[in-house]
Chains A and B, each alone.
Chain A
Amino acid sequence: MNNSKLGLLTPEQATKQVQKSIDRRNNQEKRYRFYGRLAIAIALIFLVTLFVTIISKGAPGFFQYYVTLDVELDRERLDPKGDLSTGSLYSGDARGVVREALFAVVNPEGRSGRRAAGKMVSSGSEERIRKFVQKNPELFGTIQPIRFALDDDIDSFMRGFIKRETPEADRRINDNVIGYVDLLNAQGRISYNFSDYLIFGSASRDAEMAGIKGAFIGSIMTLAVCLVLSFPIGVATAVYLEEIAKKNRITEFIEININNLAAVPSVVFGILGLAIFIGVFGMPRSIPLIGGVVLALMTLPTIIISSRAAIRAVPPSVRDAAYGVGASRIQTIFHHVIPLAMPGMLTGTIIGMAQALGETAPLLMIGMVAFIVDVPGSVMDPGTVLPVQIFMWADFAERMFIQKTSAAIIVLLVFLVGMNAFAIILRKRLERRW
């Protein structure tokens, strides 16, 4: 063959040229591998920073400071009617009993001294005493050591956010109180324990008593309503679109719209809920029922899309086999297609629920942002949800709220990660080989 530069090379020439280019291509590959690793490393650094920040900020939120006082359980004062009924306990003087126990230790002077000392213990201490005597009536007349939460200002002082060195006028607690705290500490009465308020307490203006129980129950109720509505409707829609509807312009149009809905910002669904359910139908605001309906609207496209994919993944051989033995279309769908598509549908649903759990904007629009102390008893009672509670707490100034906010974020994250992990495990375990 000729050596013309414009034509095909001889095999020997080509081999030489390829050798030369090998080095260049190897270097290129090395560079791209490096870029890839760098990108992953940066992402991992951000992720680790995020988790470290959240955990370090939030972990202290799970604990708070308590004081143990020797309380004299005087029956006449605590249970005037003597029958341990709620009415009797509430008409008693639990507050006075607690104050006495406290004053016995710190000996405050003067009215201002006593007033400042009285604020050291959380106002939830009264409820604590009432519950205690109700559970242990045999202890009336004795002196018992009982643990009470400290007020959030004292708690902040113990953590070092309020400093001794700051001039008294700039501090939230005065020198007297600091003296009392030192006294209690010297007697070893102050302890740092896992906070039973955070998990089991409801929303409260007092930071030391604030907890997520109400918001948590509200979240569960709202999600339950969302699931009950979105799963059957989503699965039925997917089955209809995939198996029954004829493929024409109308079904294409519907499919395009469902895909678009999945990308609509969630706050729009909140506005929709506000306008229709609350505006037109006049339903009450801020109830888990409406919240669940709004979230269901938002989750439906996700469930429909993943269910359709799961149905499409069922091989035609199964359908052929069913038709071949004389099954009708509905029988084929319900006896064969749906059971085989169920793992994929469930996975999509769990992921949709995890998304709904973390949604804040649409629920703000329908008013689930009110300050609600009671735990909702049914889906028609006013309630709030965990992400909204976090959002509200972030507004408050007290230092303890900041820590509890981070702690609540940790709780929310644990559930989100847990739900997603569950979806992944479910998918792995139910994967079938045809």
Chain B
Amino acid sequence: MSTAEVKTNTMGNIHVDDARMTARMVDVFYGDKKAIDNVSLDIGSKEVISLIGPSGCGKSTFLRCLNRMNDTIDSCRVMGTIALDGQDIYDPSVDVVPLRARVGMVFQKPNPFPKSIYDNVAYGPRIHGLAYDKAHLDAIVEEALQRAGLWAEVNDRLTQSGTGLSGGQQQRLCIARAIAVSPEVILMDEPCSALDPIATAKVEELINELSAEYSIVIVTHSMQQAARISQRTAYFHLGRLIEVGQTKDVFTNPLNQQTEAYISGKIG
């Protein structure tokens, strides 16, 4: 589907060159309730794009469409096209398991497995058969923890339980777990909302570093955070994508009056 044909009410430019994922005319229903209405958006490679908007506007729902996590909800129906590297991920022939290895997810409340730190990170590579042998698996775990900025803190206690770490460390462990399967895109659903400011700062710094390797889509309630870490920002409102553009443009010079109302605090 050529990018020029998309009819949308979104203001700003939904397209990017070299898009990693493209969403076209996506509708999402929970039962009879329409949660996402005709959203089209590109996700670029090696960029951070933040999805902002008031509660209940559908940003988390949209995020979960990108790795088909909505499949786990029985009443949810997704219509439209979402493509990863040109291939429609909702095509019946697509296996959702490798998809989720290519599009990883970090959740709002840190949820490490109740296993050891090592096993948390090694679980993904194990089930996907990514390591040739134990030494290779060890190397994968070490590199993932290093990229997540956690190696220095935990390398002497890899066998201890992942749930014994602090909140910020647990979230970085979840990021390491997502990185370990070498994804192309990392989805983050309000990853810092359960963390204290110091841990938040560490995770934001981490996101900055990661954006050199991965596409990152982050849902956030904090506009300041979006301004700090993302290159593009998309504003959702009641299931519609109202505006999308370069972060500094959206925050200093929004095209849509609804966007302007949200950013200046009049709504939300």
Task: Confirm or deny: A336 has a beta carbon within 8 angstroms of a beta carbon on chain B.
Answer: yes
Contact with A along B149-170 (1 / 0, CB 8 A): 0000000000000010000000
Q: Give bound CA distance, A325 to B67, whole Å.
A: 10
Task: Confirm or deny: B90 has a beta carbon within 8 angstroms of a beta carbon on chain A.
Answer: no
Residues of B close to A336: CB separation below 8 A = 113
- Residue in chain A with minimal CB distance to B106: A324
Task: Confirm or deny: B30 has a beta carbon within 8 angstroms of a beta carbon on chain A.
Answer: no
Interface contact B109-A317, CB-CB below 8 Å: yes
Contact with A along B3-16 (1 / 0, CB 8 A): 00000000000000
Q: Give bound CA distance, A322 to B99, whole Å.
A: 13
Interface contact B113-A322, CB-CB below 8 Å: yes
* CB within 8 Å for A432 and B72 given contacts A321-B174, A325-B177, A326-B98: no
Identify whether the interface residues of B are mostly helix, strand, loop, or mixed: helix
Interface residues of B in 63-79 (CB under 8 A from A): 67, 69, 72, 74
Partner of A321, one of B97, B112, B128: B112
Interface contact A326-B107, CB-CB below 8 Å: no
Partner of B72, one of A319, A325, A335, A434: A319
Distance in Å: Cβ of B263 to nearest Cβ of chain A = 31
Task: Confirm or deny: A327 has a beta carbon within 8 angstroms of a beta carbon on chain B.
Answer: yes
Q: Give bound CA distance, A319 to B111, whole Å.
A: 10
Task: Confirm or deny: A88 has a beta carbon within 8 angstroms of a beta carbon on chain B.
Answer: no
Interface contact B127-A331, CB-CB below 8 Å: yes
- Residue in chain A with minimal CB distance to B95: A328
Q: Give bound CA distance, A331 to B100, whole Å.
A: 14
Interface residues of B in 107-151 (CB under 8 A from A): 107, 109, 111-114, 123-124, 127-128
Interface contact B124-A326, CB-CB below 8 Å: yes
Partner of A325, one of B74, B109, B181: B181
Interface contact A325-B114, CB-CB below 8 Å: no
Interface contact B107-A317, CB-CB below 8 Å: yes
Interface contact B111-A317, CB-CB below 8 Å: yes
Task: Confirm or deny: A20 has a beta carbon within 8 angstroms of a beta carbon on chain B.
Answer: no
Interface residues of A in 127-145 (CB under 8 A from B): none
Q: Give bound CA distance, A433 to B174, whole Å.
A: 18
Task: Confirm or deny: A247 has a beta carbon within 8 angstroms of a beta carbon on chain B.
Answer: yes
Q: Give bound CA distance, A335 to B122, whole Å.
A: 13
Residues of B close to A434: CB separation below 8 A = 114, 163
Task: Confirm or deny: B242 has a beta carbon within 8 angstroms of a beta carbon on chain A.
Answer: no
Interface residues on A, range: 20 to 34
Residues of B close to A340: CB separation below 8 A = 114
Task: Confirm or deny: A320 has a beta carbon within 8 angstroms of a beta carbon on chain B.
Answer: yes
Task: Confirm or deny: A323 has a beta carbon within 8 angstroms of a beta carbon on chain B.
Answer: yes
- Residue in chain A with minimal CB distance to B68: A323
Interface contact B124-A320, CB-CB below 8 Å: no
Task: Confirm or deny: B178 has a beta carbon within 8 angstroms of a beta carbon on chain A.
Answer: yes
Distance in Å: Cβ of B134 to nearest Cβ of chain A = 19
Q: Give bound CA distance, A78 to B97, whole Å.
A: 79
Residues of A close to B123: CB separation below 8 A = 322, 325, 327, 335
Interface contact A326-B114, CB-CB below 8 Å: no
Interface contact B113-A326, CB-CB below 8 Å: no
Interface contact A432-B114, CB-CB below 8 Å: yes
Residues of A close to B107: CB separation below 8 A = 317, 320-321, 324
Most buried by B among A318, A325, A327, A336: A325
Interface contact A324-B114, CB-CB below 8 Å: no
Residues of B close to A322: CB separation below 8 A = 113, 123
Residues of B close to A325: CB separation below 8 A = 100-101, 104, 123-124, 127, 177-178, 181
Interface contact A326-B128, CB-CB below 8 Å: yes
Distance in Å: Cβ of A249 to nearest Cβ of chain B = 15
* CB within 8 Å for A326 and B74 given contacts A318-B113, A340-B114, A434-B163: no
Partner of B127, one of A246, A326, A433: A326
Residues of A close to B177: CB separation below 8 A = 321, 325
19 example contacts (A-B, Cβ-Cβ < 8 A) are as follows: A247-B74, A317-B109, A318-B111, A320-B72, A321-B174, A322-B113, A323-B69, A324-B69, A324-B105, A324-B107, A325-B100, A325-B101, A325-B123, A325-B124, A326-B98, A326-B100, A326-B101, A335-B123, A433-B163
The 8 A-B residue pairs with the shortest CB-CB distance, nearest first, are A326-B101, A324-B105, A326-B100, A317-B111, A325-B124, A321-B111, A328-B97, A326-B97
